[in-house]
Structure 1
Amino acid sequence: MNKVNYDILNQIPYTEEGRLSALIIQGRPGIGKTHIANSIIRNNHVRIPMATKTPESFGAYPLPVRDVVMVSLRNEKGELVLDENNNEQQVEKEVFRVEQALSESVVEPLLERNIGDDFGVLIFDDVTLGDPQLQSAILEIVQFGVIANEKLGRNVLIILTGNGTSDGSYAVEWSKALLGRSLLIDFEPDFDYWLNLDSNQDVDPVVVGFLKDFPDFFAPEVDCENTTDESGKTPSPRDYTRLGLALTKLGGYKAFSPNFLFKTVLQYASSFIGKKAGAAFKQYADNFNVYPTAEELFQDAATWESVPAEKKQMLSGCIAVVFALRNYGVKLLEQNLDNPDKCFQIVTTMLNRTRLIAEHNREVVAYMLSYFLTWATDSEFEKERQNVVLSTCDVLTSDEYKEDKDFNNFVDALWRVRQQISK
């Protein structure tokens, strides 16, 4: 069953031909255009990278097809040969005809004969980095939903991604004809959305804290004087994902070990996000060492008491710690979903630690619970995570929590899910 974002799809009109209108998503490199395209429809999605395509290699090409047909038999003089009943004798003959075949065979699942009325998405990625002539080939697909004489399903959403001509990526302009037949979206990155992506849940928390404290470095304009270094490197959200995951793989920022290639952590960070962002990141990260890791905090609440008072009040640091705590708790829960007692223990510890941190920054409560409850109540995993929902309800309605308004804001939504589970 497809996982479809109907909130978005319901806003996309159908064309006069009864097909979903195409989308053009344009924006700076590395801000998540392709991820957004993939997230609208999770299944039945096909991506075709256009930057390296040529007009000759894309779309369709002539293909000889062998057929066997019945023809009338003739003698050496060209006369019809009749049978004993005076009827023309028929014989099989092999013939060849030319058809248009799909060179993009990955599109096969999205063809009408295969997908029917199910939803799917066809992504033409980095269109403006390819040969401008390719846009003419895409136009027929956008306008008629046809590729190589084959129809796409009527509910296949066609999405084109690309950069603008001012984005520093040598992009060509969009075809006026494509613009006239598509919905154009100038995509701007959003930190909170980026932070909650599944692919970013293992990002080192120091990266999260840095971006919370220095939002101008998250997705600056290309060639911005304050964020672009002398080599022309401007950091992007994709760069921070790569840096954050790389640091996690190393065991965290604290565990970085110099070598002959990366002699300092500054040099290492700068290789991902540029020298200007790298310098600001290192300065922030050096002060981040006062915070406990998620594992340390989970095992012992006293580790938070050792954090200096001014750092407890620093929102970016608290957000980063809760980010790590939340993800650590979710991983423990995923290992114990069938154990209600263990689920209750993990949820209790996670929320108790959050409440401790929230003594100085109440904002972290909503930050923790909004993502955590979205994860816990995901309908796709309703049965697997029901022990988590039940445990969270029990914790939030306990005497300890029922008078806390920040936590109680989430109780109603949880109870609705709990009632569905009870049925």
Structure 2
Amino acid sequence: MSDGTSNIPQVSIGEVIEKMSRLYTGVVKEHRSFRETPAPFLWGAPGVGKSEGVKQIADKLEQTTGKTVIVTDIRLALFSPIDLRGVPVADTERTFTVWLKPKILDLDPSGEVINLLFLDELSSAPPQVQAAAYQLTLDRQIGEHKLPENCLIMGAGNRSIDRSVTFRMPLALGNRLLHFEVKPDFEAWKKWAMRHHIHPWVVGFLGFDRRKLCKEELEAEQMAFPSPRSWSFVSNLLWILKDAKIEEIYTEIAACIGNSEAAEFVEWCKCQDALPDTEDIFHGRKTA
């Protein structure tokens, strides 16, 4: 069965950040409406950086527009269609039913604010909930609840080939979105890693073998595998357990990225640890 991503552009998360930031900055500076821009949807493997990319788009928009960007993260898989529309109650004259707005749609309409409504894991939501997203993505409302004019929408989800919980996206919803397949990109990840204090051994190892950044072809029962997310877990372990020898924390590392990748990483780190410091060589304290 096709995963539905064979006919869409493949981009790195860095390209997504650049393209969407440029588009939305243009909307603000040209005094256009966010209604004029279809909501982008990011397809990609678990941990490839889709959610982090949306946060970086928000940060970049703040820098380029001078506005405060508020990200509202909605995991639609946790909602029912009724949850999105709100709670039905009788009106004051007890003649009609009105719907109380759900708290997640209580967005700041201020002109100094941009609301970024992020529909994460949308492809994991059952069909009835995805159907409820039709009106939200195109008409920017659910029932009588309208989104403010300063609201933009983005979505993300896993592909069917990722062996995650996914439901086929209805074509009616798919045709309301801009589709991008996010592919692993070491250079974009490295820039992010340097800003977020990722351990030098992780950065060095992945620079040595960039293919290890993200494993896309997964076996059915493979729970631990390398991805930008799981490598950040490894980095945290290395900082926290900095006084332990690398071989002593092999098990914890393997729990993040799997046995085979952990074995390669640990052996690489042992070699790096055995190398003399270049400053010592330059100052004659070591010759080899």
TM-score, normalized by length of structure 1?
A: 0.54
Give 5+ residue unaligned stretches, structure 1: 68-94, 310-423
In the other structure, the counterpart of 1:380 is none
Q: Note if contact 2:85-2:99 (Cα within 8 Å) is conserved in structure 1.
A: no
Tell me the alpha carbon deviations over residues 76-112 of structure 1, each in whole angstroms, 9 at most, x when there is no partner: xxxxxxxxxxxxxxxxxxx675311222x132125xx
Q: Note if contact 2:73-2:118 (Cα within 8 Å) is conserved in structure 1.
A: yes
Q: Note if contact 1:203-1:241 (Cα within 8 Å) is conserved in structure 2.
A: yes
Output the CA distance in 2 between the equivalents of 1:98 and 1:208: 57
In the other structure, the counterpart of 1:203 is 198
Output the CA distance in 1 between the equivalents of 2:86 and 2:287: 65
- Seen in structure 2, the aligned counterparts of structure 1 residues 51 and 291 have a Cα distance that, compared at 3 Å, is farther
Aligned with 2:54 (options 15, 26, 37): 37
Tell me the alpha carbon deviations over residues 184-235 of structure 1, each in whole angstroms, 9 at most, x when there is no partner: 0111122222222279622211111111111111112132xxxx69745331
1:62 and 2:88 correspond? yes
Q: Note if contact 2:73-2:119 (Cα within 8 Å) is conserved in structure 1.
A: yes
Instruction: State how many pairs are aligned.
Output: 258
In the other structure, the counterpart of 1:357 is none
Superposed CA RMSD in Å reads 3.4
Q: Select the structure of larger CA radius of gyration.
A: 1
In the other structure, the counterpart of 2:78 is 52
The AA in structure 1 aligned to 2:45 is: R
Output the CA distance in 1 between the equivalents of 2:56 and 2:81: 29
- Seen in structure 2, the aligned counterparts of structure 1 residues 26 and 229 have a Cα distance that, compared at 3 Å, is closer
Where do 1:12-411 residues align within 5 Å?
A: 18-42=35-59, 43-66=69-92, 98-103=97-102, 105-110=103-108, 114-116=109-111, 118-197=113-192, 201-223=196-218, 231-251=222-242, 255-256=243-244, 264-290=248-274, 301-302=279-280
Structure of higher RCO (CA pairs closer than 8 Å, 6+ residues apart) = 2
In the other structure, the counterpart of 1:414 is none
Q: Find the residue that maps to 1:235 and give its secondary structure.
A: coil
Which deviates the most, 280-289 or 146-155?
146-155
Q: Find the residue that maps to 2:81 and give its secondary structure.
A: coil
Give 5+ residue unaligned stretches, structure 2: 1-17, 60-68
The AA in structure 1 aligned to 2:99 is: Q
Residue 266 of structure 1: CA displacement? 2.0
Output the CA distance in 1 between the equivalents of 2:188 and 2:197: 15
Output the CA distance in 2 between the equivalents of 1:96 and 1:304: 87
Q: Note if contact 2:224-2:256 (Cα within 8 Å) is conserved in structure 1.
A: no
TM-score, normalized by length of structure 2?
A: 0.77
**Matched-pair identity in %:** 22
Output the CA distance in 1 between the equivalents of 2:90 and 2:281: 72
- Seen in structure 2, the aligned counterparts of structure 1 residues 57 and 64 have a Cα distance that, compared at 3 Å, is same
Q: Note if contact 2:81-2:129 (Cα within 8 Å) is conserved in structure 1.
A: yes
